[in-house]
């Protein structure tokens, strides 16, 4: 059955500028087409909302630290596992779902593409095994570069071409998607128990600053013309006053222009912005820096951001910002896991409870909403929870509810024990904006796809694009009786298509489809220097041989989809 017609739905597609018109969407052989024959299967979308499949730009869903989180939190699965049912395999995990459950839960909410936010290159085989075992959704993974010894040495010497050649090699051998930077320099410092808390704080021994690392990686990224921009988790995450470091980081992008053939316009993507928008000097006078940060992003159009919304749940934090996790366990005394990765990066994991009755958590919640409400261009601001750090991705429908209904926000604020402090330390009380469905489509589909360089592939319903379609039981013509209806409607789709295969019907999984692993294949000129540096470091410093590091056979990536980049003519 390869022909479908989704009839009479209210379509929201920013790629074509469709703002709720009743339109039929035709699917044939995996793509959106102009029309199909009379034999096409009809999906009745009357009174429903139709959008392209959503695109998750940043979540921690596959890899060693995710699995370390699963291993060390049996209590995350106590009494909450889901049984084997029909074609769904069993699963569990409230904040760190198992891989089968991850795929099903995303699909049921209408998400069809997801990016694993941080892949330690030495562990690429693990990341890809988990991606392979996550059904339905297309996935890619971002290798981390900001603390990598090769990168630190090349950029210290301003050798952009060599850094670019190394990036191309690493993306190929790990089948990675983009240049991810986490706590630049600070995580290498953490290998000695130290950190870099500002952009000018030099890395021990390597003697390069985070500013130099960030600038160098932006240059290298544009030199290559990659589909996505440098994607950064800045220094000083989570500390009161950190908004200054965030501004310093974003200023490093000034003057750079995006160079690529994928439609991307930004040179820097700032991730989980909520965690980087804190003013104040300590947890007592802690207040929101959302205005300062969004003012800057509003003015500087070569930047995109994602929100990192706090959902007020018990969850698990996990990040390559190793020193931050050590700091967090010092605050809440909960079990701390850490893995330093030779020559490359680190990771830390600590459980966290965002209680609505703790003023700091409630303020964090407010900041997470202020950011998208203050952002003028929804095509440059995407909804995430930095899953699972600020909350599980299964809470996205709740975040949508808060964004789309001022009443829902106010009801929650009224219930806060420290309501007064939340209102005085943030401006959430004065923001009456309600995100429209069209803006929601920009923030969860068209925007992230464009930022990732996937605007020709997904995030929209234009003929020729992949047939990734989500149909929601939400009637835009009817006034919303209860804001909770928004959350319900976006939790379970009436229908979801992935690459033209119906994968969800009435909230149930009906097919696993043929998920793909998205990666970026960059051709560069031969670079003998870099080739020699690589082989030398394997002989001397790595604990694995180069041939084994490069081994990523078919059984790891059974259905690859490569975005080709030719950087040989630069």
- List of residues contacting other proteins (CB under 8 A): 64, 66-68, 70-78, 81-84, 87, 89-93, 98-100, 122-123, 125-126, 129-130, 133, 191-193, 205, 326, 329, 333-343, 346, 349-350, 540-545, 547-548, 551-553, 555-556
User: Do 173 and 556 meet the contact criterion of CB atoms below 8 Å apart?
Assistant: no
Give, for 422, the enclosing helix (H) or strand (E): helix 419-425
Compute the least distance from the CB of residue 337 to other proteins, in Å: 5
Residues facing residue 99 across a β-bridge: none
Compute the least distance from the CB of residue 200 to other proteins, in Å: 23
Q: Is omega for the bond preceding 388 within 30 degrees of 0, making it cis? A: yes
Compute the least distance from the CB of residue 1 to other proteins, in Å: 17
Cα gap 80→32, rounded to integer Å: 38
Compute the least distance from the CB of residue 362 to other proteins, in Å: 22
Q: Which is nearer to other proteins, 280 or 348 (CB)?
A: 348
Q: Which is nearer to other proteins, 283 or 336 (CB)?
A: 336
Q: Which is nearer to other proteins, 67 or 473 (CB)?
A: 67
User: Do 468 and 400 meet the contact criterion of CB atoms below 8 Å apart?
Assistant: no
Q: Which is nearer to other proteins, 245 or 502 (CB)?
A: 502
- The residues, any chain, with a CB within 8 Å of residue 298's CB and separated by 6 or more, are 374, 375, 376, 377
Q: Is 433 left (phi over 0), alpha (psi -120 to 50) or beta?
A: beta
Compute the least distance from the CB of residue 19 to other proteins, in Å: 41
Q: Which is nearer to other proteins, 42 or 544 (CB)?
A: 544
Compute the least distance from the CB of residue 285 to other proteins, in Å: 22
- The residues, any chain, with a CB within 8 Å of residue 71's CB and separated by 6 or more, are none
Provide DSSP, 23-50: EEEEEETTEEES---TTSEEEE-TT-EE
Q: Which is nearer to other proteins, 293 or 337 (CB)?
A: 337
Q: Which is nearer to other proteins, 80 or 410 (CB)?
A: 80
Q: Which is nearer to other proteins, 61 or 520 (CB)?
A: 61
Q: Would you state the structure tokens that stand for residue 381, as one six-digit string?
A: 């601001």
Cα gap 266→258, rounded to integer Å: 6
Compute the least distance from the CB of residue 208 to other proteins, in Å: 16
Compute the least distance from the CB of residue 539 to other proteins, in Å: 10
- The residues, any chain, with a CB within 8 Å of residue 244's CB and separated by 6 or more, are none
Residue 334 Cα distances to 210, 313, 352, angstroms = 30, 16, 8
Compute the least distance from the CB of residue 544 to other proteins, in Å: 6
Compute the least distance from the CB of residue 552 to other proteins, in Å: 8
Compute the least distance from the CB of residue 26 to other proteins, in Å: 30
Q: Which is nearer to other proteins, 53 or 92 (CB)?
A: 92
User: Do 3 and 27 meet the contact criterion of CB atoms below 8 Å apart?
Assistant: yes
Q: Which is nearer to other proteins, 315 or 442 (CB)?
A: 315
Compute the least distance from the CB of residue 112 to other proteins, in Å: 21
Provide DSSP, 362-381: HHHHHHHHHHHHH-S-GGGE
Residue 13 Cα distances to 20, 50, 223, 225, 466, angstroms = 8, 8, 32, 27, 14
Q: Which is nearer to other proteins, 178 or 343 (CB)?
A: 343
User: Do 230 and 267 meet the contact criterion of CB atoms below 8 Å apart?
Assistant: yes
Compute the least distance from the CB of residue 83 to other proteins, in Å: 4
Q: Which is nearer to other proteins, 50 or 347 (CB)?
A: 347
Q: Which is nearer to other proteins, 327 or 492 (CB)?
A: 327
Q: Would you state the structure tokens that stand for residue 504, as one six-digit string?
A: 């969800």
Give, for 143, the enclosing helix (H) or strand (E): strand 138-143
User: Do 412 and 356 meet the contact criterion of CB atoms below 8 Å apart?
Assistant: yes
- The residues, any chain, with a CB within 8 Å of residue 229's CB and separated by 6 or more, are 178, 179, 218, 221, 258, 264, 266, 267, 268, 269, 304, 451
Cα gap 163→154, rounded to integer Å: 6
Cα gap 446→439, rounded to integer Å: 10
Compute the least distance from the CB of residue 6 to other proteins, in Å: 27
First to last CA, the chain: 45
Closest CA to 313 of 474, 481, 94: 94
Q: Would you state the structure tokens that stand for residue 518, as one six-digit string?
A: 């998205």
Q: Which is nearer to other proteins, 299 or 540 (CB)?
A: 540
- The residues, any chain, with a CB within 8 Å of residue 474's CB and separated by 6 or more, are 48, 49, 437, 485, 486, 489, 490
């Amino acid at each position: 059955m390869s022909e479908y017609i989704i009839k009479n739905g209210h379509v929201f597609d920013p790629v074509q500028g469709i703002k709720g018109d009743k339109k039929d969407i035709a699917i044939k052989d995996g793509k959106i087409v102009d029309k199909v024959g009379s034999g096409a299967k009809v999906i009745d979308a009357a009174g429903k909302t139709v959008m392209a499949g959503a695109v998750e730009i940043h979540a921690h869903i596959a890899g060693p630290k995710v699995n370390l989180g699963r291993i060390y939190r049996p209590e995350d699965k106590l009494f909450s596992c889901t049984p084997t049912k029909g074609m769904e395999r069993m699963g569990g995990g409230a904040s760190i779902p198992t891989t089968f459950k991850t795929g099903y839960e995303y699909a049921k909410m209408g998400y069809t593409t997801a990016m694993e936010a941080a892949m330690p290159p030495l562990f690429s085989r693990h990341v890809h095994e988990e991606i392979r075992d996550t059904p339905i959704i297309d996935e890619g993974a971002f290798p981390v570069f900001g603390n990598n010894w090769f990168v630190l040495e090349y950029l210290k010497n301003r050798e952009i071409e060599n850094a670019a050649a190394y990036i191309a090699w690493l993306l190929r051998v790990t089948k990675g998607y983009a240049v991810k930077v986490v706590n630049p320099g600070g995580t290498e410092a953490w290998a000695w128990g130290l950190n870099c808390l500002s952009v000018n704080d030099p890395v021990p021994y390597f003697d390069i600053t985070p500013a130099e690392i960030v600038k160098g990686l932006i240059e290298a990224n544009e030199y290559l013309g990659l589909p996505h921009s440098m994607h950064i988790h800045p220094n000083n995450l989570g500390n009161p006053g950190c908004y200054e470091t965030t501004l310093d980081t974003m200023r490093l992008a000034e003057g750079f222009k995006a160079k690529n053939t994928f439609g991307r316009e930004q040179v820097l993507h700032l991730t989980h912005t909520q965690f980087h928008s804190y003013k104040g000097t300590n947890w007592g006078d802690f207040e929101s820096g959302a205005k300062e940060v969004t003012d800057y992003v509003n003015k500087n159009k070569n930047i995109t951001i994602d929100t990192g919304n706090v959902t007020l749940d018990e969850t698990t934090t996990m990040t390559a910002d190793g020193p931050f996790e050590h700091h967090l366990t010092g605050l809440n005394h909960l079990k701390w896991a850490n893995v330093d990765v030779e020559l490359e990066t680190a990771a830390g994991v600590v459980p966290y409870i965002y209680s609505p009755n703790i003023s700091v958590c409630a303020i964090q919640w407010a900041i997470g909403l202020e950011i998208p409400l203050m952002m003028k261009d929804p095509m440059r601001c995407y909804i995430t929870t930095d899953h699972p750090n600020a909350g599980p991705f299964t809470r996205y429908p709740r975040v949508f509810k808060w964004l789309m209904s001022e009443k829902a926000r106010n009801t929650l604020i009224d219930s806060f024990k420290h309501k007064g402090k939340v209102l005085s330390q943030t401006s959430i009380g004065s923001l009456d904006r309600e995100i429209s469905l069209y803006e929601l489509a920009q923030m969860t589909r068209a925007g992230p796809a464009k930022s990732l360089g996937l605007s020709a592939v997904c995030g929209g319903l234009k003929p020729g694009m992949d047939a990734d379609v989500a149909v929601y039981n939400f009637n835009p013509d009817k006034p919303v009786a209860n804001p909770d209806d928004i959350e319900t409607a976006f939790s379970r789709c009436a229908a979801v298509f992935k690459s033209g295969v119906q994968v969800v019907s009435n909230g149930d999984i009906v097919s696993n489809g043929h998920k793909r692993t998205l990666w970026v294949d960059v051709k560069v000129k031969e670079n003998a220097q870099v080739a020699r540096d690589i082989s030398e470091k394997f002989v001397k410093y790595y604990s694995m041989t180069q041939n084994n590091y490069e081994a990523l056979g078919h059984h790891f990536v059974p259905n690859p989809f490569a975005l080709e980049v030719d950087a040989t003519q630069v």
